[in-house]
A and B are shown apart, each in its own frame.
Chain A
Amino acid sequence: MRRVKGIGSLLLWGSPLIMVGIVIASILFGAKNLPMSTVWDALFHFDPENVDHQIVIHSRLPRAIGALLIGAFLAVSGALMQGMTRNYLASPSIMGVSDGSAFAITICMVFMPGSSSALEMVFFSLIGSVIGVVAVFSLATLVPGGMSPVNMAVIGLITGTFLSGVSAGLASYFQISQDVSFWYNARMHLMTPELVKVAIPFGIVGLVLALAISKSVTVLSLGEDISKGLGQRTVLVKVIATLAVVILTGISVALAGKIAFVGLIVPHITRFLVGIDYRRIVPAAGVLGAMFLGLSDVLSRFLNYPFETPIGVVTSLIGVPFFLYLIRKRGGGTHA
């Protein structure tokens, strides 16, 4: 156990170095491998005429940073959701946020083709996330026992199937299925500096909210009654936490599409490493999530070289076995 904690603190304290390593790897490797010297020149003596420099600045670098940001966002929202609902299965992809967002984006692509500037897409994606969350939560409160881990997962799945069913119906009716599917399943290679710039302010707001609320989430994760007994305004805490989740997940889906399992498994690893205090879990989950997705993104280019694998497939590849392990270990227990 102590050795695991040792590795954990090594990971966390070494994270700046590791992230720099991931960014460098992400810039160097791809359909075209670039030599170190070119990258150096591109960063410090940028030459707009040079195609390799263009690749570094306009594609590889934003992609690497984007992957880190999205990983952090998803992991933090997952951690908040799990703490808030005391549900070890809560995660953005299960709770309908991603499906809601994909739903809004499909509608946008069907009814407003052409008007697809990055900012607009982000906006629609956010609206969609809100729809998804509201749908899942209101359904869960309608059903007796709907807030329990298993029922919540099932309700999330039902809502998700419904929303993605409607999206699929619209997409196949207007014959743009594969476009839509590409849009929300395989977008990492389309990352641009503009998208990253759009993401940063949303990310800051979301992360600040998450950090500000983290202490109250710790109390909430002890149970609703204890939390109320300690004089906490639980509804306010839940609203703020949900807001943070919606912002962080919405922006992630808008940037990279549906990426499963990051928000589910990273918080578990984090709790394993740093304990149950959300003041530490939230930032640590962010750091670990960033590293996890950054690494998955690099991996996604090698699984089927020279073709890219959608990053969601890579995270599922790692996530499904972990999820099964989690179930075996916890055996359907009550909460994290």
Chain B
Amino acid sequence: MLKSGMTRFGFVLLMGVLLTLAAVYVSLTNGAFDMTLAEVGKTLLRINPDPSHDLVIFEFRLPRIVIAMLVGFGLGVVGAVVQGLMRNGLADPGILGINAGAGAAIVVFMFFIQGSIQGTGWFAIMAKPLFGLAGGLGAAVLIYLFAWNRGKLDPQRLILVGIAIGSGFGAVSLYLSLKMKPNDFEMATVWLTGSIWDANWTYIAAMLPWLIILLPIMMWKAHLLDLFQLEENSVKSLGVATEKEKSILLLCCIGVVSACVSVSGNISFVGLIAPHITRRLVGIRHRYVLPISGVMGMLLVVASDFISKTVFQPVELPVGIVISIVGVPYFIYLLRRGRK
């Protein structure tokens, strides 16, 4: 049983990675400026570098693809963890209201501060994601305070509080964005619905530490999520410090989501859909679900980002919208299949 599970896991992992690489290749070579595989390969391996190819690949396409991959992976894993924690297959990291908190902070930043920052130094680039991170963490603290009840973290209550806090922060964003100049408003909306259009290497450097530290912790604790599917009391009788473990996992989720949201805005549905696809492929054991869910998220975001920048030329749709347009019908289909 275990062995066949392992083989299946390995096979799905391999296929997922290969498909993602294919998507990366297509995304890297196609666009307003088409390139051949040889050209891309030469540029990446530094054989006879051509400055114009360097510019397109290293400044425009590659950072964007890398961010799409990181964000997709992070959101996919977090989605699986959140659904496991809440014992609810409909939970999504966005429901926790963290996105909305980060979004409100970024809108505050765009409205009050962005104009007054001069230059293109490290600080100027980092200011926006830092604001997003602060907003996400702020929202998380609020949600935590309200959902904490007599020393226990009630999953039902967590969802409801998340929805409430989310709509509160949504109101703040709305209030400010309606006061913006049309141009800024357009930018704020694009950002709020999720977009990777202003990707650069500094953002990647900013989000990488969070993922490197927090994702392994989640993977390491994955087996606990299997236990959490049992009745609360039986888990306790196994000697698991449930509340402590739940809090650790939840804090990891919050960190990863804040890091992702602060660079790419509010990309919804990845965390909802990726775990569903994954469970159909490799079953319900979280040790397998978590990594595969990350790979599925990666594939989803890279592919959707490619669609968002090419299909609707010359306008670029926010990737979050592409994902929700493609993802929701597929999600409904999955739910139907799951029911039979």
Interface string of A127-145 (1 = CB under 8 A from B): 0000000000001001110
| Cβ 8 A contact of A327, one of B95, B164, B312 | B164
Contacts of B331 in A (CB 8 A): 158
Contact B160 A332 (CB under 8 A): yes
Contact A158 B154 (CB under 8 A): no
13 interchain pairs, CB-CB under 8 A: A139-B335, A153-B159, A154-B95, A157-B163, A178-B178, A260-B167, A310-B178, A316-B171, A320-B167, A320-B168, A320-B171, A324-B146, A331-B154
Interface string of B38-57 (1 = CB under 8 A from A): 00000000000000000000
Contacts of A177 in B (CB 8 A): 185-186, 189
Contact B321 A324 (CB under 8 A): no
Docked Cα-Cα span, A143 to B95, in Å, equals: 18
- Asked whether any CB of chain A lies closer than 8 Å to the CB of B137, the reply is no
- Distance in angstroms from B324 CB to nearest chain A CB is 4
Shortest Cβ distance from B323 into A: residue: A165
Docked Cα-Cα span, A187 to B203, in Å, equals: 38
Number of interface residues of B (CB under 8 A): 51
**Interface residue ranges, B against A (CB under 8 Å):** 88, 90-92, 94-95, 146, 149, 154, 156-157, 159-161, 163-165, 167-168, 170-172, 174-175, 177-179, 182, 185-186, 189-190, 193, 268-269, 272, 312, 315, 317-318, 320-322, 324-325, 328, 331-332, 335-336, 339
Segment at the B interface, from A106-114, A167-175, A191-199 = A167-175
Docked Cα-Cα span, A113 to B159, in Å, equals: 39
User: Interface majority SS on A: helix, strand, loop or mixed?
Assistant: helix
- Asked whether any CB of chain B lies closer than 8 Å to the CB of A234, the reply is no
Docked Cα-Cα span, A332 to B163, in Å, equals: 13
Ranked nearest first, the 10 interchain pairs of A and B with the lowest CB-CB distance are: A332-B156, A316-B171, A165-B324, A169-B321, A320-B168, A162-B328, A154-B90, A323-B164, A327-B160, A313-B175
Contacts of B336 in A (CB 8 A): 142
Contact A320 B164 (CB under 8 A): yes
Contacts of B167 in A (CB 8 A): 260-261, 316, 319-320
| Cβ 8 A contact of A143, one of B90, B160, B165 | B90
Chain A, interface size: which category? 35 or more
Contact B325 A332 (CB under 8 A): no
Contacts of A15 in B (CB 8 A): none
- Distance in angstroms from A182 CB to nearest chain B CB is 7
- Asked whether any CB of chain B lies closer than 8 Å to the CB of A89, the reply is yes
Contacts of B161 in A (CB 8 A): 324, 327
| Cβ 8 A contact of A150, one of B159, B321, B332 | B159
Contacts of B164 in A (CB 8 A): 320, 323-324, 327
- Distance in angstroms from B236 CB to nearest chain A CB is 20
- Asked whether any CB of chain B lies closer than 8 Å to the CB of A32, the reply is no
Contacts of A320 in B (CB 8 A): 164-165, 167-168, 171
Contacts of B174 in A (CB 8 A): 181, 185, 310, 312-313
- Distance in angstroms from A312 CB to nearest chain B CB is 7
Interface string of A213-249 (1 = CB under 8 A from B): 0000000000000000000000000000000000000
Contact B178 A327 (CB under 8 A): no
Docked Cα-Cα span, A241 to B164, in Å, equals: 26
Contact B190 A151 (CB under 8 A): no
Contact A158 B90 (CB under 8 A): yes
| Cβ 8 A contact of B312, one of A173, A312, A331 | A173
- Distance in angstroms from B113 CB to nearest chain A CB is 20
| Cβ 8 A contact of A175, one of B154, B163, B186, B322 | B186
Contact A153 B163 (CB under 8 A): yes
Contact A172 B315 (CB under 8 A): yes
| Cβ 8 A contact of A317, one of B156, B171, B325 | B171
Contact A153 B160 (CB under 8 A): yes
- Asked whether any CB of chain B lies closer than 8 Å to the CB of A309, the reply is yes
- Distance in angstroms from A158 CB to nearest chain B CB is 7
Shortest Cβ distance from A309 into B: residue: B175
- Distance in angstroms from B246 CB to nearest chain A CB is 16
- Distance in angstroms from B6 CB to nearest chain A CB is 30
- Distance in angstroms from B327 CB to nearest chain A CB is 8
Contacts of A151 in B (CB 8 A): 88, 90
Contact B339 A144 (CB under 8 A): yes
- Distance in angstroms from A308 CB to nearest chain B CB is 10
User: A150-B88, A332-B157 are known contacts; what are 8 more A-B pairs with Cβ within 8 Å?
Assistant: A158-B272, A162-B328, A173-B317, A175-B315, A186-B178, A316-B170, A320-B168, A332-B154
